[in-house]
Amino acid sequence: MVRILGPIVGLGFVGVLLWSLMWGAIAFVQEPPKATAEHEFHKHPEKVDFSFNGPLGKFDQAQLQRGLQVYKEVCSACHSLRLVSFRDLTALGYTDGQAKTLAAEWSTETPSINPETGEPATRKSIASDRIPSPFPNEVAARAANNGALPPDLSLITKARHDGSNYVHALLTGYSAQPAALLKHFPEAKTGEGLHYNPYFANLNLAMAPPLTAEGQVSYADGTKPTVDQMAKDVSAFLTWTAEPKLQNRHRTGLAVLIFLVIFTGLTWMAYQNVWRDKKH
């Protein structure tokens, strides 16, 4: 009985799927989906020639230090970096002493406990502390940003598709709304408190352009601080915060490939040796 009912039930499922597919196709032809502003004007980020691109890519420590400076002087006013501690910054070429100094200069309001009274207190940050958030909690963050919550940037390049290029494109992509958009999609006009950016999913975001002019940050190494350069530097830095072991992964992958090539060669030679006297 089961042998008879099994194929019948299977055919029933197939029939239902074919019926649904047919009616879906008919509905698509009769009432095609309407074009939207997001579909028509959303842009995908262009590729940036970062030093860490490719299987043999490496981080440029000078660029990472410049990116940290951009984050500190521009981005840290709104965005946290809660998964990165000050001592992690030694991977960027800083000494332990420099990391301690940077921690002490960064913030004097790290939450703590008074060891004598047990009351809440604040102190200067130390190297083992994580980079502090600019706001004490989510409510304060939203209140300071017209209801929008600035995302933590620790893993932002992993949380967004094509993250490094996306961050660079977003930072440099602010512009006026195209006339064609306003003509064909007047309902998509950028509202008060929002800013048009074709690289953002819905074209409008609450964050004002953070990088607005050349020279906004002064680089100690003499690099010209154009908007494009600052965007590249902070994108590289945020790529490092999201994947600090990227270079180790590249080295491991290369070693694995070399091993597989050698192993394949040895396997082929063993095969030839074992079967050389056998007739096929």
Per the CB < 8 A criterion, the answer to whether 197 and 74 are in contact is no
Q: Which residues neighbour 51 within 8 Å (Cβ) at sequence distance 6 or greater?
A: 57, 58, 59, 60, 63, 236
Kindly report the three-state secondary structure assignment for every residue of 231-256.
HHHHHHHHHHHHCCCHHHHHHHHHHH
Output b/e per residue, 155-167; b: 16+ Cβ within 10 A: bbbeebeebbbbb
In terms of Cα–Cα distance, which of 207, 140, 147, 142 is closest to 173?
A: 207
Whole-angstrom distance, CA of residue 163 vs CA of residue 160: 5
Whole-angstrom distance, CA of residue 88 vs CA of residue 103: 11
Query: What are the binding residues?
Result: 75, 78-79, 207
Query: What are the binding residues for heme c?
Result: 75, 78-79, 207
